[in-house]
Amino acid sequence: MTGNPYMPQLATIVETFDETPDIKTFRVVLLDPEAMAKFTFLPGQVAQLSAFGSGESTFVINSPPTRMDSLQFTVMRVGELTHRLHTLKAGDPVGLRGPLGNHFDVEGMKGRDIVFIGGGVGMAPLRTLLLYMLDNRADYGDITLIYGGRSPEHLCYKAELAEWTARGDMRVELTVDNPDKDWKGRVGVVPTVLTELGTSAKNAVAVTCGPPIMIRFTIQALEKLGFTDEQIVTTLERRMKCGVGLCGRCNIGDKFVCVDGPVFTQAQLRGLPQEF
Amino acid sequence: MVARFLADDALTRQAETWARDYRLLAPVREGQAVVYRTWAPDMRPFLGRPPTASAKQALLPQTENLLTYTYRKEPTDLTRTEVFLAEPLPPEPTVVLGARPCDARAGKLLDRVFLERGVKDELYARRRAATLFVTVACESMENTCFCHWTGGGPTSEEGSDVMLFPVSGGYVARAITEAGEKLLAALPEAPAATMEELAGILAHLPEPGPAPDLRQAPERFLKLFDDMDFWTDESARCLSCGVCTYLCPTCSCFNITDEDWGLKGKRVRTWDTCMSALYTLEGSGHNPRSARAQRLRNRVGHKFCYHPREFPGETGGQPEVSCTGCGRCIKSCPVSVDIRRIVRDILEKGEGK
C-alpha cells in the first residue's frame, strides 16, 4: 500500500556525539540511497524519529539542506523515547518520517541582517538556518548569534561555536548563567545580552528559540530595540504524534503546529488564540 | 429504488446473511447499554433505541494497527540489528447495522479530517470505502437529541446506504446507494398497506423545536476565548473523564504508541481524548491545556468554531459544525455537562463582548 502516512523510511545512525550531559546529537542517513538522494527540505522543517518499540517523536532537522551527507538531529533526554534514542549508537536502525511542517522564510530574509537568539537545546533549529546562511553567505547581511546556557557544559555544538567565532564574517556572543573558572564569554541571561548589544532593528530579522521564559523576555527586549512583530520569528514546541495534522493534539485554534508551524512570526502568533 | 420489507422475525436471518459476505457490526444489548459487536452466531441485533456508543469504530477503530516491525540480530555480530517494517492488513468489507442518521452523517465530518484536511490517510480511506451503513430512521427524538441544530434530522439519509423505517411488524427498507440496493436484493417488496402506514408516520414526525442560529458561534467563541471566568464556570462540574469524546461520532483525535513484544511489535493508533491533561503534556513538563477549563474550551471550540472556520459552508442556514447532534455526550456525561447549554451561553454571552 502506498499512502500510509504513518510508515517511516528506514534510516541508519552513522554518528553520535554527546553535546551536554543530557543532550545527544545523531547523524542519520536513509537506508535507501535513492531516497536519500531525493530527500529535500528547507531550514526549520522537522521529522519524526522512531525507535521501534518505544515510539516516535518530532525533532528539527538541524543540519542544513546545503549539507546532505547526513541528516542531523539533536535530542534532549526527557522521556521514554528519548531515553531509548540515547542508548543507540552508530550502525543502529531508526525510522524517519519527514520532512514535515513549514520552514523559515529563507527567501524573504535575503539581504537582511539576521540576529539569532538561542537558549539551550533551542540552538538546534537555529543551527540549520545559520549554516544555510553561512553556506549562502553573500545573500544575507550582518549575522549575529547570541546563545546562552545554564553553564558552559550546557551549550550545544561547542566545536562549531568556536569555528563560528573565528570566522570573522559573523558575530558570536555566548553567555551562561553559571560560569566555570575557564569561561571567557559573558555571564547573564540572553535578553540582557541582547539589550546590552543594542542590536539595530533596521532591516533586521530576529530568529529566536529556547525555553518559553527566555522567549518571553527576548521578545520584550526585541520590542524595546524597535523590532516589529513581523521581524520576530520563533519556532513552537508542542506535543505531536502524527506530524501531518490529523491526530489533533498540537492545535492552536484551527491551526496545527505540525503543519502550519513550527515556524511562526510573532505577528502570526498574535493572531492565534492565546493557548501555547 | 423499490421499498422493501424487512419483517422483525427476518432481521436476525438477514443479519446472518450479511455476515457471510461482510464483517457485520450490529448493536446488541449488554447490561443497560447497547453496543456494536462483530457478528457472532446466536447474536440478536437490537434496533429499539440508539446505541450507547456511536458507530465511528467502523471507520476509526478504537485500536488500529499502523505498521508492524521486526528486529533481526545479525548472526555474525549480535550487537548489530536490522529492522523490517510491514503494512497493516487491508480492512474487511463491513456492514454497520442499526446506525442512526446522526452516526451515518458523521462519516462526512471524519472525511474532512482524514481525507480533505491535507495528508490523505490511506488507512482511513480504505476502511471508509469498504464500509456500508444500514441506518434506522428515528421515530422520535430523545430529550438529548439535537440533530436539527446541525443540518440533520431523524430521517436524514446523508451517509447511509440503506434506510430502515420502523413500521408495524418490521421495517420498510429503502436503498440509498447501489451498494445498499445489493444488500436488500433478497427482501420482498413492501406491501401497499405498509407503505401507506409509513407515509402516515412520515407526515406526522414530531417537530424538533427551534434551533439556535450557529453562524455567529465561531466569532462569539473567539471573543470569549480569554474569558477564563466563563470557561471555569462552564467546566466547573467536568471530571475530565473523556466519555464525551469516546462516545462522540465525530471526535477523531488519536494517539500513536508502540506495542513491543521483544524483537517484534506493532505501532497502533488508539482513540485519545483532549479532555485528558496528558493529551498535551510536553516532555519538558509544559502543558498548554493544563486546566480543565482550557480542555473543555478546546472540545467545544473545535466543534463549533475551529471546524467551521477550517471548512466553511452552510446547509439549511447552519454552518457545518463538527457535531451531528446525537446527544451522546449529554446522555452519558456522569455530571450532566450539556454542550447545548454551553453553545447557547457562547451565543448569548459572546454577543455583547
Smallest CA–CA distance from B285 into chain A, residue: A78
For B282, which of A6, A237, A253 is closest by C-beta distance? A237
For B81, which of A54, A93, A246 is closest by C-beta distance? A93
Average of per-residue pLDDT across B9-23:
95
Distance from CA of A56 to the nearest CA of B (A): 8
- Judged by average pLDDT, the poorest of A235-239, B14-18, B328-332 is A235-239
Q: What is the pLDDT of residues B252-273, one digit of tens each?
A: 999 999 999 989 999 999 999 9
Distance from CA of A74 to the nearest CA of B (A): 15
Q: What is the pLDDT of residues B20-79, one digit of tens each?
A: 999 999 999 999 999 999 999 889 999 999 999 999 999 999 999 999 999 999 888 888
Would you say B159 and B102 are in contact if contact means Cβ atoms under 8 Å apart? no
**CB within 8 Å: A4 and B253:** no
**CB within 8 Å: A1 and B117:** no
Instruction: Give residue A237's pLDDT.
Output: 86
Instruction: Give residue A158's pLDDT.
Output: 96
Q: What is the pLDDT of residues B300-331, one digit of tens each?
A: 999 999 999 999 988 778 999 999 999 999 99
Grid cell for residue B121: 490517510
**CB within 8 Å: A4 and B123:** yes
Distance from CA of A9 to the nearest CA of B (A): 9
Distance from CA of A52 to the nearest CA of B (A): 7
Instruction: Give residue B317's pLDDT.
Output: 84
Q: Which residues of B touch A83 (CB under 8 A)?
A: none
Judged against a pLDDT cut of 90, whether residue B1 lies above it is answered with: no
Interface of A with B (CB under 8 A): 1-8, 10, 52-57, 76, 78-79, 82, 91-93, 95, 211-212, 237-239, 241-242, 244-249, 251-254, 259, 273-276
Instruction: Give residue B209's pLDDT.
Output: 85
Instruction: Give residue B315's pLDDT.
Output: 79
Sign of CA dihedral B283, B285, B286, B291: positive
In which order are the strands placed within the sheet that holds A55-60?
A55-60, A46-51, A93-100, A9-20, A23-30, A71-76
**CB within 8 Å: A254 and B309:** yes
**CB within 8 Å: B122 and A7:** no
Q: Find the distance separating the first CA and the last CA of chain A, reported in whole Å.
A: 37
For A4, which of B81, B87, B301 is closest by C-beta distance? B87
- Confidence bin at A1 (pLDDT 50/70/90): low
Smallest CA–CA distance from A254 into chain B, residue: B306
Distance from CA of B114 to the nearest CA of A (A): 7
Smallest CA–CA distance from B309 into chain A, residue: A254
CA distances from B197 to B165, B168, B169, B190, B202 (A): 11, 8, 11, 11, 9
**CB within 8 Å: B119 and A245:** yes
Q: Find the distance separating the first CA and the last CA of chain B, reported in whole Å.
A: 52
Query: Is ipTM beyond 0.90?
Result: yes
Q: What is the pLDDT of residues A90-148, one digit of tens each?
A: 999 999 999 999 999 999 999 999 999 999 999 999 999 999 999 999 999 999 999 99
Reduced to 3 DSSP states, what percent helix, strand and coil does chain A have, rounded to the nearest 5?
A: 30, 30, 40
**CB within 8 Å: A246 and B226:** no
Average of per-residue pLDDT across A22-38:
97
- Substitution target from A13, A239, A269 for chain B, most B beta carbons within 10 A: A239
Percentage above 70 pLDDT, chain B: 100
**CB within 8 Å: A241 and B256:** yes
What is the DSSP code string of B319-338? E--S-----HHHHS-TT---
Q: What is the pLDDT of residues B114-143, one digit of tens each?
A: 999 989 999 999 999 999 999 999 999 999
Q: What is the 3-state secondary structure (H, E, C) of B9-49?
A: HHHHHHHHHHHHHCEEEEEEEECCEEEEEECCCCCCCCCCC
**CB within 8 Å: B83 and A10:** yes
Instruction: Look at residues A68, A113, A71 and name the one whose alpha carbon lies nearest to residue A59.
Output: A71
Instruction: Give residue A64's pLDDT.
Output: 98
**CB within 8 Å: A237 and B286:** yes
Distance from CA of A114 to the nearest CA of B (A): 28
**CB within 8 Å: B225 and A91:** no
Domains of chain A: 9-100 (2.40.30.10), 113-235 (3.40.50.80)
Instruction: Look at residues A2, A49, A53, A43 and name the one whose alpha carbon lies nearest to residue A30.
Output: A49
Would you say A222 and A206 are in contact if contact means Cβ atoms under 8 Å apart? yes
- Confidence bin at A151 (pLDDT 50/70/90): very high
Would you say B158 and B152 are in contact if contact means Cβ atoms under 8 Å apart? yes
**CB within 8 Å: A248 and B258:** no
Write phi, then psi, for B96 (nearest 5 degrees): -100, 115
For B120, which of A3, A211, A247 is closest by C-beta distance? A3
Distance from CA of A155 to the nearest CA of B (A): 18
Q: Which residues of A touch B267 (CB under 8 A)?
A: 6, 52, 55
User: How much is the mean pLDDT over chain A?
Assistant: 96
Distance from CA of A44 to the nearest CA of B (A): 20
Distance from CA of B298 to the nearest CA of A (A): 8
**CB within 8 Å: B274 and A249:** yes
Q: How many separate helices (H) and strands (E) can be counted in chain A?
A: 8, 15
Q: Which residues of B touch A5 (CB under 8 A)?
A: 119-122
Instruction: Give residue A257's pLDDT.
Output: 95
Q: Which residues of A touch B81 (CB under 8 A)?
A: 92-93
Would you say A45 and B123 are in contact if contact means Cβ atoms under 8 Å apart? no
In which order are the strands placed within the sheet that holds B63-74?
B77-86, B63-74, B264-271, B254-261
Smallest CA–CA distance from A8 into chain B, residue: B85
